Amino acid sequence: MQLFLDTAKLSEIREAMDWGVVDGITTNPSLLRAAMEEEKSESLEAHVREICRLAGRGKPVSLEVMGLKAEEMVEEAKILYRKFNPVARNVVIKIPVCTSTGEGRVEEGLRALKELSRLKIPTNATLVMTPEQALLAAKAGARYVSPFAGRIDDLVRSRLGIPFGKYDYFDFSLLREIGRIRLEERVGGRQEGLGMLYQDGELRALMDPGQNDGILSGVELVRITVKILRYYKFKTKIIASSLRHPRQVREVAEAGADVATVPFSVLRAMLRHPKTEEGIRLFSQDAEKAGYRELFR
């Protein structure tokens, strides 16, 4: 599985690329704004060029359009690709899979993806929240689709009234087990026929506790997306996005995601474990006592 860094901060990109484990960069307007303010960059264009340069040749950098109509997005994509792809031949254009805000046309993103595919400009379909959206984006020719695992976790926890911080791990396996136990308690000893039980609103709610069309977590969104796109042999790669915890990275790797994109803080946390740190302390102490430094002279 590839790892992309989800940031626009030049300092983070420099350090992470030096580790030798980062395969690309994903950005968005919010990340760029925060990076520009923190690093006091005066030119957005120069900042973006530096991101592309630091990532290096062949390591994808996702840059997002601003328009909401297909024609606008295609034109903006061509401009971004023309301006920044020559830096390191690594630009991928982020296109929202659906640009509707609740009203108006819903297909603009698909139309843009299809046209950019025809123009051979690589795209990343973003803000994917369902496997159905991922399927449509793949059919439209997206090179990547980005299911937003963390935001689905946020949605489910909010609907269930579970308090959480942005980087808290969501133990959806525990939630599923609680649901199973409550379902058994609800059904146990009842004599109604299957038809009556099927119509029981509380039972149906227990089968979809997050009220999210049967998808209980972001990891499950990624797993189902992988299953569908691989079954039908799409070439589209799946970027598990909006990951906020190292355990999520492990779980999307188990689910078969092609890429996980993570903030720098999560990348660092993936290296840490208290027993690793304890081992380093003990080995260092014993090496000093044994005069181990003599071996290196």
Catalytic residues: 94
Rg over alpha carbons for the chain, rounded to the nearest Å, is 23
Annotate 66-106 with DSSP letters as a single string: --SSHHHHHHHHHHHHHHHHHHHS-EEEEEES---SSSS-S
DSSP designation for 220: H
Tokens of 44: 């957005």
Tokens of 1: 């599985």
Taking a C-beta distance cutoff of 8 angstroms, is the pair 116, 93 a contact?
yes
Taking a C-beta distance cutoff of 8 angstroms, is the pair 156, 212 a contact?
yes
Cα–Cα distance measured from residue 214 to residue 211, given in angstroms and rounded to the nearest whole number: 7
Cα–Cα distance measured from residue 68 to residue 36, given in angstroms and rounded to the nearest whole number: 24
Give the type of residue at 22.
Answer: V
Q: What is the number of other CB atoms lying within 10 angstroms of the CB of residue 250?
A: 13
Nearest to 117 by CA among 103, 96, 146, 138: 138
Nearest to 170 by CA among 134, 223, 210, 207: 210
Nearest to 117 by CA among 2, 259, 236, 227: 236
